[in-house]
Amino acid sequence: MKLKSISDARLAASGWLLPSAWRKHFGGRAVAVFAFTIKSLQLIQGFTAYAWVWSNRDRGICFNPSDMELLPFVAGLVMLALGQALIRISYTAIGWTKVYYGSKLSEHIAPDMTLSSEDGAQLMYRSLYKPHYVGTMLSVWSFVVIFYTQLPGNAWFIASFLSLMYSITAWVEDYL
């Protein structure tokens, strides 16, 4: 899990810090290839987390619903819904091209974050710092909250590590 997260962070950093290499190698498809690569690595991260949980449980991945407590379950579902809504708001407000560094990887996208109108998604996007990263972190932590009684004791470390990686990526986007 850790190696995939580091690879994902390095890939994101390369898209931000070395956009000319991506443009040179992939041309007009640089944004689409970058988005596909990031999404593929996120799927690998999810599968790796699933396999890690499975390998650390006596019963494998079979969760027992009777072991779940109602309050954490509901809180986790709310966190998951909110996280996914924030990710969707980001895509709606600025589009997938800008979410995946279109301003750096494509010469046809303006680098500034100008929004054409003030609809709800755009207002929410401007109100929060990097809502797509906040949404991703909420989604990751939601699973820890929902299944906390059944996950290995160090599951919080994986969620913390992923949150740190997304925070570093946001910092790279702002300051490098």
Token output for 16: 């931000």
Residue type for 136, please?
A: T
Q: What is the pTM of this model?
A: 0.76
Q: Where exactly are the structural domains of the chain?
A: 2-175
For 95-144, how does the pLDDT look when each residue is reduced to its tens digit (9 = 90+)?
Answer: 878 887 777 777 565 544 555 555 677 777 778 888 889 999 999 999 99
The CA distance from 64 to 42, in Å, is: 26
Write down the pLDDT at residue 60.
67
Write down the pLDDT at residue 61.
67
The CA distance from 106 to 103, in Å, is: 6
Answer whether residue 76 shows pLDDT above 90: yes
The CA distance from 100 to 79, in Å, is: 24
Answer whether residue 12 shows pLDDT above 70: no
Which range (9-13, 31-35, 67-71, 157-161) has the least confidence?
9-13
Write down the pLDDT at residue 112.
47
Token output for 46: 């999810």
Distance of CA 52 to the CA centre of its chain: 19
The CA distance from 23 to 20, in Å, is: 5
| CB 131, CB 89: distance < 8 Å | yes
Answer whether residue 148 shows pLDDT above 70: yes
